[in-house]
Structure 1
Amino acid sequence: MRIAVLKFGGTSVANETKRNHAVQRIREALEEGRRVVVVVSAMGRKPEPYATDTLLSLVQEVDPELPPREKDLLMACGEIISSVVMTASLRRAGIEATSLTGWQAGIVTTEQFGEARIQRVEVGRIRQELEQDRVAVIAGFQGASENGEIATLGRGGSDTTAVAVGAALGAEVVDIFTDVKGVYTVDPRLVSDARILTYVSYQEVCQLAQEGAKVIHPRAVEIAMKNHQSVRVRSTELPDKGTLICAPHHAGDDYCCDRLITGIAHMAPITQIKVNTSQWPDPALTGQTVFQALAEAEISVDFINVHPAAVIFTVPDEITAKATRVLEELGLCPEVRQGCAKVAVVGINMTGVPGVMAQIVVALNREKVPILQSADSYTTIWCLIPIKDLTVALNALHRQFCLT
């Protein structure tokens, strides 16, 4: 049985016109001789009535401290509604379909409400529908624990659902349909010369996604990589093949082995916080004290540099006040710089290649963009810059590495 899993995000099922585009993509997969599983997100975004954030707003004023278990019961409704509406759209188009909740589709999760992990997918019910020549339309973002507790998978959870289901079924491909044509070399809203990548490796797209490229959830990529599951990011409105995500040796002629840099991602706005270790009685323990206090306050930090003279890190702008308050309660006087952007230059072929950082510095210096902080790994170099220089910096780096 040849199987395709097609996932449609919230903007792809937001209204009848967009759902009709989705139906056309499903029909094309059926005409190619595949049995089709569809995974859907909740319809649209707030303030649209069935979007996840809209549903949450129903209880936020009533009880801001509503337990995560109850929140998950509410949030799961958006995808269930979407699955039934999509099933109705398919039936109207003459395509037999059955809607399934996450737990009816056999998705077994942990009980970590709001951020559950998929433990396994029991695909018997899905296969039953496919064998009856019906499209199985699954509500994404959700599942149930061994104890029958409904749990959601966190933001981007429908991507995770689709890839996990595809891997469990041995699908030929998982298509992630969205409102863009594929994975771009850089944000096309900020760089007019951005182009679509025909192929990108698991490692690269995961890094791009973690650094702010909103194309597919990193957790979904990790599942795909573990199970050798090919994934495509495609446009709902166009029949284009989009971007293939797979291992390099599976890409064939689409893989450019000479490609030093694959893409550039960014995250903004963020705040840089610097703590001078001389402020602490024992400078050697400053970092330990700072990071323990932030962890106890449930503040996640990023872009960490620890030096003998200072501890430097970043947080999202919206939690700057909270982080600053935690540090001041320790008797510290943090230096706070809001309005920053983190730029990530990503490429699996940069490992061991001299001069990549030199090119980054040349490109940014040419445009007089200051580098406030930097770090690197085998596949990525990060630079922190003022957010006011973000568009100029992205364009300069895109040109420097000939990504047009």
Structure 2
Amino acid sequence: MQILVQKFGGTSVQSNQSRKHVLRHIENALNNDFKLVVVVSALGRSPDPYATDSLLELVDYPEHSITNRELDMLMVCGEIIASVVLSNELRKSGISSIALTGAQAGIKTNADFNQAKIKEVEPSRILTELKKHDVVVVAGFQGKNLQGELTTLGRGGSDTTAAALGAALAAKSIEIFTDVNGIMTADPRVVKNARALDIVSYREICNLAYQGAKVIHPRAVEIAMHAKVPIRVRSTYEENGGTLVTNTRNGKVGVDISDRVVTGIAHLANITQIKVQTKEKEAYRLQSEVFKAMADAGISIDFINISPTGVIYTVPNQQAKRAITILKSKGFNPSILDDCTKVSVVGAGMTGVPGVASRIVHALTSKGVQILQSADSHTTIWVLIPSKDLFTAVNALHEEFDLSNQSTILHDFLTER
């Protein structure tokens, strides 16, 4: 039995018209002799009545008075509704199908309500149903813990469900259907000539996803990578192949694909920079107390720079006010710069290649973009900039590395390293 896992997001299943495209992709796969496991997100987005955000509004989220356990009981409803709706339409089209919740599909998680992690997948129920049906429709974003309680998987949970099922079922591949035709060199809403990539490595897309590219969740990529199951990111509304995410080229097992020097530009907006300075003799106290205070308050920090006289780091805008209040209560006098954006230049092949940082600085400063902070790893160089310069910065970097040029991309892809 040859199994294909397909995942369709909320906008893909929100209306009769969009679901016609979903049915077409399912029919095409069945015509190629696949048995299908189809993972679905909740129908549409707010204010659509069965979208997750719409369900949360029923309990006045985030000012609700229920437990996280009960919140999960509410949030799983959207995907369950979507799975039954799609299964109904498949049957009306003459396709044998059955809908399963995440728990019925064998998704077992830990007990962290609202942010559960998958601990195990028991696929026996799915395999049994695939002997009787052509399609098993699974409600994404959910599972159950060891106590039998319903849990949700957090942001990107349906992607994670699809990857986990693909790995457990040794699927031929996993197809993630979205609004865009594959993984882009930059956000097409920011860069008009951003283009879809034909093929990327797991490592490249993980870096892009962690740095703000929202086309697929990085946890899903990591699961597929470990299981060596290829992913294809495609548009629900087009027929072409989208972007293949894999470790091999031309179907040759064990042949690594080459890494580009720069694969794409990602960004995260709505960030506040916090600076806390002190006298040198108090530096150790400052470093310890500042980061401990943030950790104790559950405030996520990023872009950390430490010096003998102070620390600089960033927090999401919505957590900035609380962070400042905490720091002042401990006797510190922080300064802040709000409305910043983190721009990331990602390329798994930049390791050891001289001049990449120089080109980034030149591209930005020549356009008058102020670099507030910078950092780098083996595969990514980050810069913090004022949000007002986002469009200028991302377009400048996209142009500097000629990412709209297919021949340049292919040259990097085939010859670097």
Letter in 1 for 2:65: E
TM-score (ref. length: structure 1): 0.96
Q: What is residue 8 of structure 2 aligned with on the other side?
A: 8
* 1:2-401 correspondence to structure 2 within 5 Å: 2-60=2-60, 64-248=64-248, 257=258, 259-278=260-279, 282-401=282-401
Letter in 2 for 1:272: Q
- SS of 1:324's partner is helix
Contact 2:265/2:346 (<8 A) preserved: yes
Letter in 2 for 1:294: M
- SS of 2:349's partner is helix
Letter in 2 for 1:262: T
- SS of 2:36's partner is strand
CA distances 1:143-174 after superposition (whole Å, capped 9, x unpaired)? 11122111110111000000000111110110
TM-score (ref. length: structure 2): 0.93
Separation (CA, whole Å) in 2 of partners of 1:197 and 1:389: 26
The Cα shift of 1:249 comes to 5.2
The Cα shift of 1:264 comes to 0.6
- SS of 1:29's partner is helix
Q: Closer, same or farther in 2 for the Cα pair 1:231/1:62, shift >3 Å?
A: closer
Separation (CA, whole Å) in 2 of partners of 1:241 and 1:174: 12
Runs of 4+ in 1 over 3 A off after TM superposition: 248-252, 254-258
Separation (CA, whole Å) in 2 of partners of 1:134 and 1:120: 24
Letter in 2 for 1:300: S
CA distances 1:1-47 after superposition (whole Å, capped 9, x unpaired)? 11100000011111111111101100011011110110000011111
- SS of 1:292's partner is helix
- SS of 1:219's partner is helix
Contact 2:100/2:139 (<8 A) preserved: yes
Instruction: Structure 1: give runs of 5+ residues left out of the alignment.
Output: none
- SS of 1:358's partner is helix
- SS of 1:233's partner is strand
- SS of 2:58's partner is helix
The Cα shift of 1:258 comes to 7.1
Letter in 2 for 1:267: L
Separation (CA, whole Å) in 2 of partners of 1:211 and 1:284: 30
Separation (CA, whole Å) in 2 of partners of 1:214 and 1:357: 25
Letter in 2 for 1:292: K
CA distances 1:216-249 after superposition (whole Å, capped 9, x unpaired)? 1111111111111111111011111111111155
Moved more, 128-137 or 362-371: 128-137
CA distances 1:293-325 after superposition (whole Å, capped 9, x unpaired)? 111111010111111122000111111111111
Q: How big is the alpha-carbon RMSD for the aligned residues of Structure 1 and Structure 2?
A: 1.8
Separation (CA, whole Å) in 1 of partners of 2:141 and 2:250: 29
Q: Closer, same or farther in 2 for the Cα pair 1:63/1:211, shift >3 Å?
A: closer
- SS of 1:350's partner is coil
Separation (CA, whole Å) in 2 of partners of 1:340 and 1:250: 42
Q: Closer, same or farther in 2 for the Cα pair 1:353/1:80, shift >3 Å?
A: same
Contact 1:20/1:89 (<8 A) preserved: no
- SS of 1:220's partner is helix
Separation (CA, whole Å) in 1 of partners of 2:259 and 2:77: 47
Separation (CA, whole Å) in 1 of partners of 2:345 and 2:201: 15
Q: Percent identity?
A: 53
The Cα shift of 1:403 comes to 0.5
- SS of 1:59's partner is coil
Moved more, 81-90 or 239-248: 239-248
Q: Closer, same or farther in 2 for the Cα pair 1:255/1:369, shift >3 Å?
A: farther
Q: Closer, same or farther in 2 for the Cα pair 1:176/1:329, shift >3 Å?
A: same
Separation (CA, whole Å) in 1 of partners of 2:296 and 2:182: 39
Separation (CA, whole Å) in 1 of partners of 2:60 and 2:333: 35
The Cα shift of 1:132 comes to 1.6
Separation (CA, whole Å) in 1 of partners of 2:25 and 2:51: 23
The Cα shift of 1:271 comes to 0.7
The Cα shift of 1:277 comes to 2.3
CA distances 1:252-298 after superposition (whole Å, capped 9, x unpaired)? 7x9873731001100002111111122x9722221110011111111
Contact 1:199/1:255 (<8 A) preserved: no
Contact 2:259/2:347 (<8 A) preserved: no
Contact 2:201/2:259 (<8 A) preserved: no
Contact 1:274/1:311 (<8 A) preserved: yes
The Cα shift of 1:60 comes to 2.4
Separation (CA, whole Å) in 2 of partners of 1:230 and 1:65: 42
- SS of 1:167's partner is helix
Moved more, 281-290 or 294-303: 281-290
Separation (CA, whole Å) in 1 of partners of 2:372 and 2:62: 43
Letter in 1 for 2:238: L
Separation (CA, whole Å) in 1 of partners of 2:18 and 2:93: 14
CA distances 1:55-112 after superposition (whole Å, capped 9, x unpaired)? 1111127972311100001101110000000101111111111000011111111111
- SS of 1:10's partner is coil
Alignment: residue pair count:
403
Contact 1:261/1:345 (<8 A) preserved: yes
Q: Closer, same or farther in 2 for the Cα pair 1:336/1:223, shift >3 Å?
A: same
Instruction: Structure 2: give runs of 5+ residues left out of the alignment.
Output: 405-417
Q: Closer, same or farther in 2 for the Cα pair 1:372/1:251, shift >3 Å?
A: farther
